[in-house]
């Protein structure tokens, strides 16, 4: 008997449901930085409008974990110390100038690195910087640890897998003797050339995502993770205390602390985050106070402009990049103090972070050929809406008009309540439930929910199309 539509119907329903589910999930992106209040996540009081954001978090947790774990030991090029446990990176905007160097055209890349002087070309990435990618690996580790930790808190059927992944990746980067990073940035963003022996103060920026790590560690600690043992927690506290001490004493670190642009802002992100990991909440608050009473006072002028960032070759990017770091310092301050007053802190010219967001949002990325940087605005808009409110709906309107309807699937929707709380589009449709009942009474995604990876989604689409074409 020849197969009919009804022969394949039992196969098509779950396949097409999985395809529909894949459309509920946001493509993976990397946010510049964020600190997420662990108490808010652990409380789990999420509105149903966050279901798609939760689905994206789980999907991103699974997809990002496929590439890890990461370690400073993965690099093949040694730092000047000869110890691969030391973090190493090359200044991203520096290029060799071999003018006047004998036989320059015959030099190997390795000879160029040590023979030719290097010059800075602002905003122009040297692609060979990725030959040493401790920077990218740290960022990937921080992202994966954060999303797997949040996925663990969501009580899905795979929660132990997410918990195990987060803990394993933390151990690999920070704690296991064979793979751990030494707590210093002595060789970060080195400017290559003759007699290059130490990193640049700009290299402190490389560990800016320590705020994501701190968010995850605090969730594991306060959430009672069985995999995150007291021994591991003690070792993480010890590592973080040593890194914090380096930030507070090393010459190049103190140079970065005094920098008035985004580099300085991110310095305080990192130090305050480390203080939280060490349970030094007062120290974290003192750190953010030092920022808001220090370099912050000159970072925003009347009207909301950030002159240090606006003068760069990519002003749209740098405005938002610094805003992300400002929000992290403010979020840590609010978490450590229990007060939200810091969000209204004015600079010397009477401007606030709120003013800076509004001005940045009014800029056209096309004016400076920066359309690709538009997504950097979205987390800042969501943060502003959640903190300052959106009574006139301008932030929601901006998100819908520039991002489109899929903004509601972005993970930042989860921790920026009450932004978008009235949006029914955030709920997962019944056709995307993969056999589980639609979570109408729960604020969490269904415990049976487990999103497919990108490759599986592609397979499901292809197979569904094949079966349909066979039948019709």
pLDDT single digits (tens) 242-280: 999 999 999 999 999 999 999 999 999 999 999 999 999
Q: Read off the pLDDT band of 442 (50, 70, 90).
A: very low
Banded model confidence at residue 445, pLDDT cuts 50, 70, 90: low
Give me the residue spans of the domains in the chain. 31-471
Residue 2 pLDDT > 80, yes or no? Answer: no
SS3 sequence of the chain: CCCCHHHHHHHHHHHHHHHHHHCCCCCCCCCCCCCCCHHHHHHCCCCHHHHHHHHHHHHHHHHHHCCCCCCHHHCCCCCCCCCCCCCEEECCCEEECCCCCCCHHHCCHHHHHHHCCEEECCCCCCHHHHHCCHHHHHHHHHHHHHHHHHHHHCCCCCHHHHHHHHHHHHHHHHHCCCCCCCCCCCEEEECCCCCCCCCCHHHHHHHCCHHHHHHHHHHHHHCCCCCCCHHHHHHHHHHHHHHHHHHHHCHHHHHHHCCCCHHHHHHHHHHHHHHHHCCCHHHHHHHHHHHHCCHHHHCCCCCCCCHHHHCCCCHHHHHHHHHHHHHHHHHHHHHHHCCCHHHHCCCCCCCCHHHHHHHHHHCCHHHHCCHHHHHHHHHHHHHHHHHHCCCCCHHHHHHHHHCCHHHHHCCHHHHCCCCCCCCHHHCCCHHHCCCCCCCCCCCCCCCCCCCCCHHHHHHHHHHHHHHHHHHC
Sorting pLDDT into bands at 50, 70 and 90, what band is 434?
A: very low
**Average pLDDT score over residue span 336-342:** 98
CATH of domain 31-471: 1.50.10.100
Range with top average pLDDT, 64-68, 98-102, 194-198: 64-68
Q: What is the pLDDT of residue 44?
A: 96
Average pLDDT over residues 431-437: 36
pLDDT computed for residue 439 by the predictor: 32
For residues 204-214, average pLDDT: 98
Say yes or no to pLDDT of 64 above 50.
yes
The whole-chain average pLDDT of the chain stands at: 89
pLDDT for 277: 99
pLDDT of residue 129: 87
425 vs 71 pLDDT, higher one: 71
């Amino acid at each position: 008997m020849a197969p009919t539509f009804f022969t394949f119907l039992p196969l098509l329903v779950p396949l097409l449901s999985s395809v529909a589910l894949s459309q509920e999930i946001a493509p993976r992106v990397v946010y510049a930085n964020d600190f997420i209040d662990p108490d808010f996540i652990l409380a789990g009081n999420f509105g149903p409008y966050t279901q798609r954001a939760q689905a994206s978090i789980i999907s991103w947790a699974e997809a990002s974990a496929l590439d890890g774990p990461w370690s400073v030991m993965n690099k093949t090029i040694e730092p000047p110390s000869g110890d691969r446990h030391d973090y190493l990176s090359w200044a991203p905007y520096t290029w060799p100038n071999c003018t006047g160097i004998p036989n320059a055209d015959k030099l190997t890349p390795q000879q160029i690195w040590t023979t030719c002087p290097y010059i800075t070309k602002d905003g122009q990435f040297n692609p060979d910087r990725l030959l040493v990618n401790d920077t990218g690996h740290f960022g990937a580790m921080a992202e994966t640890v954060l999303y797997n930790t949040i996925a663990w808190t969501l009580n899905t059927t795979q929660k132990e897998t997410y918990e195990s992944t987060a803990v394993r990746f933390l151990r690999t980067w920070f704690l296991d003797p064979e793979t751990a990073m030494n707590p210093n940035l002595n060789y970060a963003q080195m400017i290559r050339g003759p007699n290059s022996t130490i990193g640049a103060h700009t290299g402190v920026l490389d560990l800016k995502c320590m705020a994501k790590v701190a968010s995850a560690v605090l969730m594991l600690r306060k959430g009672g993770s069985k995999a995150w043992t007291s021994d591991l927690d003690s070792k993480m506290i010890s590592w973080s205390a040593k890194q914090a001490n380096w930030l507070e004493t090393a010459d190049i670190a103190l140079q970065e602390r005094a920098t008035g642009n985004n580099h300085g802002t991110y310095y305080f992100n990192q130090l305050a985050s480390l203080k939280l990991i060490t349970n030094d909440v007062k120290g974290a608050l003192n750190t953010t106070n030092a920022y808001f009473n220090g370099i912050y006072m000159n970072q925003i002028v009347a009207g909301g402009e950030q002159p240090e960032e606006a003068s760069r070759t990519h002003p749209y990017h740098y405005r938002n990049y610094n805003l992300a770091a400002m929000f992290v310092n403010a979020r840590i301050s609010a978490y450590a103090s229990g007060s939200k007053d810091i969000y209204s802190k004015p600079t010397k010219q009477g401007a606030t972070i709120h003013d800076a967001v509004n001005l940045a949002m009014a800029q056209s990325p096309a004016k400076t050929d920066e359309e690709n940087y538009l997504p950097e605005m979205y987390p800042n808009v969501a943060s502003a809406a959640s903190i300052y409110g959106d009574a006139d709906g301008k932030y929601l309107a901006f998100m819908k008009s520039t991002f489109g309807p899929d903004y509601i699937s972005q993970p930042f929707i989860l921790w920026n309540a009450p932004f978008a709380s009235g949006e029914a589009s955030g709920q997962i449709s019944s056709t995307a439930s993969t056999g589980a009942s639609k979570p109408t009474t729960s604020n969490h995604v269904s415990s049976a929910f487990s999103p497919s990876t990108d490759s599986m989604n592609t397979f499901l689409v292809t197979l569904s199309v094949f079966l349909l074409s066979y039948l019709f």
